Chains A and B, each alone.
Chain A
Amino acid sequence: EAGVVQSPRYKIIEKKQPVAFWCNPISGHNTLYWYLQNLGQGPELLIRYENEEAVDDSQLPKDRFSAERLKGVDSTLKIQPAELGDSAVYLCASSPAGTGGEQFFGPGTRLTVL
């Protein structure tokens, strides 16, 4: 069974440019998460989806970040415009519906903003 797929794995852009990250969760997983991981820190939640509904986006900087999961399957996270401080790893995770079991993480997208 395929794991959580993310693309691209690496992205280098100049500040003020837009950027988008894509995630395809494990088939059948209703819950999808986007986490941000700064260097030397643990991941922090940006947004959580239950099917196509964003149920927790309180940590998402909505002035420049947006996300969508239109059909309740794959998801896109966008930054526009990117700032130097956005350089980090963006991780996607998924889990099946239920009582809060294991979360399965993708390899992440490493973003560098110059």
Chain B
Amino acid sequence: DAKTTQPTSMDCAEGRAANLPCNHSTISGNEYVYWYRQIHSQGPQYIIHGLKNNETNEMASLIITEDRKSSTLILPHATLRDTAVYYCIVRVWGSGNTPLVFGKGTRLSVIA
């Protein structure tokens, strides 16, 4: 079973920041937080991952609380093409290529 809890759906106005929360209160010390997204009729796509420090790449920023029990994915300037289901996943790093355990994710709708 997925070890994360996410809201079912969210709306965001185009051009505004989209902040997607995720709870992972039972996360272990060696588990990373991963985010993937799935645009309609496509396979999931990796966005970002982190352990405890905040991370940023060209797609998004990941903010992890100090106790690591929750995190927020930030899309700084959402566009219509960011409409997708976003999955928050916790996974052990360094244990080989273990499979991803997906929950139901958050359906983000970016509105013009």
Instruction: Please name all residues of chain B whose beta carbon is closer than 8 Å to the beta carbon of A100 when the two chains form the complex.
Output: 91-98
A interface: dominant SS:
loop
**Contacting pair B105 A107 (CB below 8 A):** no
Q: Which residues of B contact A41 (CB under 8 A)?
A: 102, 104
Assess whether B97 is in contact with A98, with CB atoms less than 8 Å apart: yes
Q: Does A75 contact B (CB under 8 A)?
A: no
Shortest distance from the beta carbon of A7 to any chain B beta carbon, whole Å: 14
Quick check: A108 and B43 within 8 Å, CB to CB?
Answer: yes
Q: Is B21 an interface residue (CB 8 A)?
A: no
> In the complex, A4 Cα to B44 Cα: how many Å?
12
What is the interface residue range for chain A against chain B? Answer: 20 to 34
Whether A105 pairs with B94 at a CB distance below 8 angstroms is no
Name which residue of chain B comes closest to A56, CB basis: B99
Min CB distance, B74 to chain A, in Å? 20
Q: Contacting B105 at CB < 8 Å: which of A42, A97, A104?
A: A42
| Residues of chain B within 8 A of A31, CB atoms compared | 97
> Within the complex, which residue of A42, A44, A97, A106 is in contact with B97, where a contact is CB–CB below 8 Å?
A97
The interface of chain B, by Cβ under 8 A from chain A, is: 2, 41-46, 87, 91-105
A-B CB contact pairs (8 Å), 16 listed: A31-B97, A35-B99, A41-B102, A41-B104, A45-B99, A45-B100, A95-B97, A99-B95, A99-B96, A100-B92, A100-B98, A103-B46, A103-B97, A103-B100, A104-B46, A105-B43
